[in-house]
Amino acid sequence: MNAQEGAWDEEAAERAVAVLKAVADPSRYRLLWALSGRELPVSELAGILGAHVAATSQHLARLRSAGLVTTRRDGTRIYYRAADARGLLEEAQLVARRGDRDPGSGGGAGEETAVAVRENAVATRPARGRRPALG
């Protein structure tokens, strides 16, 4: 049985939408990318963005509430790390590149790679509900 088949899970869909909304900001996307594989304090992250610490902290709070970043305290400093978001970021880039090449076709030269990445992602994550049939 396909991993994506099954009953529609409204709660899981709402969580997924919250994650996508959290990443749907260029600054938050850049923060996640910077935090993939390493942890950094908010002051360094603000420098990467070229933004104020307060604005960066608000972006991090949004990512944290969506479960996309975790924190670790060391004295007075708080360090942030992406919580396994690299696959999501890479998939978004694959989809964006595919759309840049030929928006009408739904595919492109890298389609085989995108399919392989998606199949790997599906195989490594828990099964999700399927969207209800329309009509």
Q: Where are the domains of the chain?
A: 10-82, 86-124
Between CA 45 and CA 131 the distance in angstroms is 37
The DSSP line for 35-79 is HTTSEEEHHHHHHHHTS-HHHHHHHHHHHHHTTSEEEEEETTEEE
pLDDT per residue, tens digit, the chain (135 aa), is 455 566 888 888 888 888 889 989 999 999 999 998 899 999 999 999 999 999 999 999 999 999 999 999 999 999 999 987 778 888 888 888 887 776 555 444 444 444 444 444 433 333 344 444 444
CATH number for the segment(s) 10-82: 1.10.10.10
Give the pLDDT confidence score for residue 127 in this predicted structure: 39
